[in-house]
Amino acid sequence: MNPSSKQKILILGASSGIGHEVARRFIEMGWSVGVAARREAPLAALKALAPERVEYAQVDVLAEDAPTRLQRLAESLGGIDIYFHCSGIGSQNRQLELSIEENTVRTNAVGFIRVMNWAYHYFEQRGGGHIAAISSIAGTKGLGPAPSYSATKAFQNCYIEALEQLARQQNLHIRFTDIRPGFVETALLGDSPNYPMMMSAAKVARSIVKALVGSDDVKVIDWRYRILVPLWRLLPRWIWKRMRL
């Protein structure tokens, strides 16, 4: 991959899955990388790959001090060029257990806003930067097996778009990239066989790295989903509600 002028990235949600793979790839590329998540042991393992270029912090998006911890992590790197948000939860909840629905909304909506707000103001004060986040193609339509997950992903799609417009209106040099993967083999989806065209975290991470050092505003991963998602959008409501997922 060609060198980029951006050399410092902070990744929240780097302890496992896609976030961990993306962090590892940026470390291999020679970037300075800040990694954050609730679990510290996987973050320490990433730091061991390049102790002089990797810093980490324990951060929970549900904690009120999450912005303060992210600020300190960014400062420990001497500033960052990209903030990449990978933190999120989701699960099938066909029984509509209220605790699952509420926790998903707290994490994927309230927690999401908390740290995106920090990132926006961080780059506002620095004169520009790049904010990227993993949402999902699940935000395209309401998914019966995972109501709160698909709803919060639609929320994230819309929120990123709104921030992009706001930054332009305020003449801020902040770029946004909305990463929308299809279904990925991670702990988030568990062992369910009911998701089509599953992809490995490593494959998705390769595409994400290219999108972050490139110029994508919205990146749907992969080509099969770039065909499928527009078709989903075209389906009338009366057909969609009869589909078995």
Distance CA 182, CA 185 (A): 10
Structural domain boundaries in the chain? 8-240
pLDDT at 6 over 70: no
Contacts for 191 with CB less than 8 Å, ≥ 6 apart: none
Bridge partners (DSSP) listed for residue 83? 10, 131
> Which of 18-22, 118-122, 191-195 shows the lowest mean pLDDT across its residues?
191-195
Return the minimum-mean-pLDDT range out of 67-76, 99-108, 210-219.
210-219
Question: Which 3 state secondary structure label does DSSP give 12?
Answer: strand
d(CA 42, CA 17): 11
0.85 cut: is pTM over it? yes
| 81 within 8 A of 6, measured Cβ to Cβ | yes
- Say if residue 168's pLDDT is above 90: yes
How much is the pLDDT for 55?
A: 98
Q: Residue 197 — pLDDT band, cuts 50, 70, 90?
A: confident
**Most confident listed range (6-10, 157-161, 235-239):** 157-161
Q: How confident is the model over 83-89, as a mean pLDDT?
A: 95
If DSSP codes are grouped into helix, strand and coil, which group holds residue 29?
Answer: coil
Mean pLDDT across the stretch 24-48?
97
- In this predicted structure, the answer to whether residue 2 has a pLDDT above a threshold of 60 is no
- Distance CA(17)–CA(14), nearest Å, equals 8
CATH 3.30.470.20 describes domain 8-240: no
Q: Determine the average pLDDT of the residues in 125-142.
A: 93
**Pairwise CA distance, residues 72 & 18, whole Å:** 24
Residue 191: the pLDDT is: 46
Strand partners of residue 11: 35, 84
Q: Give the phi and the psi of residue 178 in degrees, each rounded to 5.
A: -100, 110
The least confident of 28-32, 113-117, 140-144, 151-155 is 140-144
| Rounded average pLDDT over 134-154 | 92
